[in-house]
Structure 1
Amino acid sequence: MTGKAPSLGLLCYRAMTRAVSPLVPLLLRRREARGKEDPARLCERLGVPTQDRPEGPLVWLHGASVGESLSILPLVSRLLAAVPGLHVLVTTGTVTSAKLMADRLPAGALHQYVPLDHPDYCARFLDHWRPDLAVWIESEFWPNLIFTASRKDIPLALVNARITARSAHNWRHAPAFIAGLLSRFSLIMAQDRASAARLRELGAGKVLEPGNLKHDAPPLSVGEAEHAHLAPMIGTRPVWVATNTHEGEESAAGEVHKALASSYPDLLTIIVPRHPARGPAIAAELAEMGLAVARRAAGDGIAPGTEIYLADTLGELGLFYSLSEIVFVGGTFDSTGGHNPFEAARFACALLAGPSDFNFAETFADFEGAGAMRRVGDAAALAAAIRRLLDDETERKRMGAAAKRLASEDSGATERTLEALLALLPPARKREAHHA
């Protein structure tokens, strides 16, 4: 791995990231002001650790944010069980994912923020942690981090790889750059056929197709006390959930509620924004539409007159899926490209989604094919679809059962990924020499 010469594009990128380093403190301060950085752990973004490296072998897994980090939890547990004395380092880049990892990582695993992609920060990070294996999850390519790990002779794997048609098109403008990055991975495992084909087109060699790790993830947790608290407030009211919503989708959900209110005067709409920090702005927008809004982050309860319950908190998706049989998957009415449908499906929710699905095109197609998901073009069509499901309990439960059945099937992706990663771990004597 150390012998691969960097492409001209990579050399230019490394020079550029060095040139802009004086701007990094300003960038971090701005992100901190917007709630996108943890002020107590800003040093980690510069490659300065806040924890000691544990003794023994260490596998490093990097996932960009919440979805990626949650999808690897079963893999983390299996790695720890498979290798005595192993530790697992998980890095992510968002405050939300860091909080979730703090609650859910098993013993033997720890979390750090991924360093910003500057040559010096990456080298500092890797010199401290000295991973025996580095594993990238899905699609976040940080060139300096990949190059530096490769130069230090750390085996690299890209698992559950996902690359959209849009991303592949953009990378085709820098073919030598992306081909050079992909060539540094000893193992590439795609989560679907389309991603595998695109990776091969971009210069990857052998690309395996073991399945999607998200298919094997465990159900989201539900706080029993919180469920017992909220369920009586809702009672027998009809409920639907708009989950992982982005700007513009909350107002669409408000329009849906207003369209259905005359037929269902006690309807409750639960909105779970993708970014909870937007809660106050979303609440103000919905209130301007004449809707009665209660905010969970503000400690509001669900009163008889509450029309919109804004679930602007972290780590409670399972709670809200457990309270409804109908879920609209956000990020599908804008250019986001959709979000993970498996989480809601495991709660036997009938799924609805808009037209934007490039992040999960094959997955959405599977749910549609199983009769578990319906696609809608706009807010009016969403209102019509929810009306049909509220009116037809048999169809609602049939769709929910189909969704749960599909999401609960063990795809074997975790086991196949585990076996491939274990094969990349250096033998014990080589690990000892590496850390000497």
Structure 2
Amino acid sequence: MSERWARAALQTYRWLGSAFYPFIGTYVAIRASRGKEEHGRRRERYGRNTISRPEGSLVWVHAASVGETGAVAALIARLRGLGIEVVLTTGTVTSANFARERLGEDLLHQYVPLDIKPAVSRFLHYWKPDLAIFAESEIWPMTILELGARRIPQVLINGRMSDRSFKRWKKRLALAESLFENLSHVAAQTELDAERFRTLGARPVTVTGNLKVDVELPPVDNAVLNSLLGAMEGRPRWAAISTHEGEEVISAKVHRALRKFWPGLLTIVVPRHPDRAPALRKMFEEHGLKVCHRSEDTELTSDADVFLGDSIGEMGLYLRLTDIAFVGKSLSGTGGQNPLEPAMLGTAILSGPNVSSFAEIYDRLCEAKGARIVADETLLAKTVHHLLLQPKACAAMARAGARVVDDLSGALDLTWQSLDPYIHPLRVQAALKKNARDDGEDGVNDRQTQEFGHGWT
């Protein structure tokens, strides 16, 4: 694809977005009816503000979903600690709720505008960000072009480029270069990611590691944790987390195979999308398994076969209930899910072979013997059985995974260094604003002191 055709393709994308803009309301309304949008905040998808913009410098941070929101939480806290205002956008209701829980109700949050020129332009015109920061792999052509046209620095942090995305972009190299040349900086997770971004025209690109390694794990309600541990006491158990369609059926079959050897076995299943819980309960019951819901049942009964973790933001709770965790989207799905949180919380990690999105992390974990790759449900069942039979081997895997996490830490500081050239001017402006405000207050206090003194003369 030539440069001329790339420009034409982007222009066509712009025109099509503008042409369909009047009809997007139906699409957003359908999403809202399915619980994927907040009814009262649908206008934010069109770039219309629902909260006031504070005065002074402002950074726009975008994180698509819960995982990315957790990854940028510490970064946002640092920015706000310097007096720099931040508006966070996310793409899902669950990530919005998670952001409020993690960063507080005073967080400036909006749903990300649709990647259509009228919506993006309206959002940028109102918020006037001094810097835009995007997490991981969110590449929105119109947003990138509109930021570029306004000469607003835009930085991609925790940058990741999957095999599939790289192949797709490489086939349209001129188009990729037309977009990626607008990025001021790419802070990539790995050397492989960095090389892929460079191939697609991004400059400069640095390797800063994975921000999810440096995530401060959210606190757990100890009363709930102790109650569940008490209900599970003495029961052998394992977990299948971040599961995708098909992997819950595999979990049911593994449970039925293992309970012959492990009476009282409990399988903890945490689906990637909790809204699938009703359908999953029905499926488990069809397999002859009794299910307890985290969100519905008041207690975990002793005869439950499956504990269905269908709540949001409680992965830390579920992982603290087990020593063995199978990480999903790796047997019936593709790309895998991030294994770092299980490693951080001391579980032996199992995964299917489809982990291309986290290949380097899994390579490190497997090399250190902190994780094992299982080819199918039969091998998954055999490995869970082995780890239940050999608790010392299970504990050794957990320790090895924790060491890998320690070795990978430091991404937050490296990312902060890569952002410093763009943050430093905003830090200075924030300091000047604070000094001016303090001087104003001191002036008022001096005047009040003088008036108070005059009253005694």
- Alignment TM-score, normalising by the size of structure 2: 0.90
The alignment status of 1:226 with 2:235, answered yes or no, reads no
Question: Could you tell me how far apart the structure 2 residues matched to 1:55 and 1:402 are?
Answer: 48
Deviations 1:41-60 (A, max 9, x none): 11111111111111221111
Contact 2:6 2:174 in 1 (8 A): no
Q: Which residue of 1 aligns with 2:66?
A: 66
**CA pair 261-346 structure 1, distance change in 2 beyond 3 A:** same
Residue type matched to 1:261 in 2?
R
Structure with the largest fraction of helix: 2
1:193 partnered with 2:191 = yes
Q: Is the 8 A contact 2:184 2:203 kept in 1?
A: no
CA RMSD of aligned residues (A): 2.0
Verify: 1:45 aligned to 2:39, yes or no. no
In the alignment, the residues of structure 2 paired with residue 396 and residue 93 of structure 1 have an alpha-carbon distance, to the nearest angstrom, of 38
Please point out which of 383, 386, 390 is paired with 1:392.
Answer: 390
Q: What amino acid is aligned across from residue 335 of structure 2 in structure 1?
A: G
Aligned equivalent of 2:84, options 83, 86, 105? 86
For residue 20 of structure 1, report the CA deviation from its aligned partner.
2.0
Secondary structure of the structure 2 residue equivalent to 1:427? helix
Check conservation: 2:185, 2:202, Cα contact below 8 A.
Answer: no
Once residues 428 and 238 of structure 2 are traced to their aligned partners in structure 1, the CA distance between those partners, rounded to angstroms, is 55
The worse-fitting range, judged by mean Cα deviation, of 277-286 and 330-339 is 330-339
Q: Secondary structure at the match of 2:129?
A: coil
Q: Work out whether residues 80 and 108 of structure 1, in 8 Å CA contact, stay in contact via their aligned partners in 2.
A: no
**Are 2:397 and 1:403 aligned?**
no
8 Å Cα contact 1:183-1:203 kept in structure 2: yes
Question: Is the 8 Å Cα contact of residues 158 and 188 (structure 1) preserved in structure 2?
Answer: yes
One-letter amino acid of the structure 1 residue matched with residue 46 of structure 2: L
Cα drift, residue 22 of structure 1: 3.2
Q: Looking at CA atoms only, which structure, 1 or 2, has the larger radius of gyration? A: 2
CA offsets 1:276-330 (integer angstroms, 9 cap, x no match): 0110001001111111111122225211110001111111111111110000001
Cα 1:266–1:118 shift into 2, 3 Å: same
Aligned length: 427
Judge conservation of contact 2:121–2:146 (CA < 8 Å) in 1.
yes
Aligned-pair identity in percent equals 39
**Could you tell me how far 1:136 is from its partner in structure 2?**
1.0
Q: Amino acid of the residue matched to residue 374 of structure 2?
A: V
Question: Normalised by the size of structure 1, how large is the TM-score?
Answer: 0.94
- Listed one character per residue, the Cα deviations across residues 23-53 of structure 1 (whole Å, up to 9, x for unaligned) are 3111112212222111121111111111111
The within-5 A match list for 1:1-16 is 7-16=7-16
How far apart are the structure 1 equivalents of 2:236 and 2:267?
9
Mind listing any 5+ residue stretches in structure 2 that lack a counterpart?
Answer: 431-457
Q: Secondary structure at the match of 2:357?
A: coil
Q: Tell me the amino acid that sits aligned with residue 303 of structure 1.
A: T
Q: Determine the structure 1 residue equivalent to 2:304.
A: 306
Distance, in Å, in 2 between the alignment partners of 1:404 and 1:274 is 23
Q: Once the 2 structures are TM-superposed, how far is the Cα of residue 107 of structure 1 from its aligned partner?
A: 7.9
Which residue matches 2:94?
A: 96
Q: Deviations over 1:145-195 (max 9, x none)?
A: 111111112111111110111111111232222111110011111101111
8 Å CA contact retained: 1:216, 1:408? no
CA offsets 1:255-289 (integer angstroms, 9 cap, x no match): 01001010011010010011101100010011111
Q: Which among 172, 175, 194 is matched to residue 177 of structure 1? A: 175
User: Contact 1:14–1:144 (CA<8 Å) still a contact in 2?
Assistant: yes
1:156 is aligned, of 140, 154, 157, to 154
Secondary structure at the counterpart of residue 334 of structure 1: coil
Counterpart position of 1:217 = 215
Task: State the one-letter code of the partner of 1:54.
Answer: P
One-letter identity of the residue aligned with 1:51: I
Moved >6 Å (runs of 4+) = 429-432
Deviations along 1:373-401, one digit per CA (max 9) or x if unpaired, are: 00001111110110000000110000111
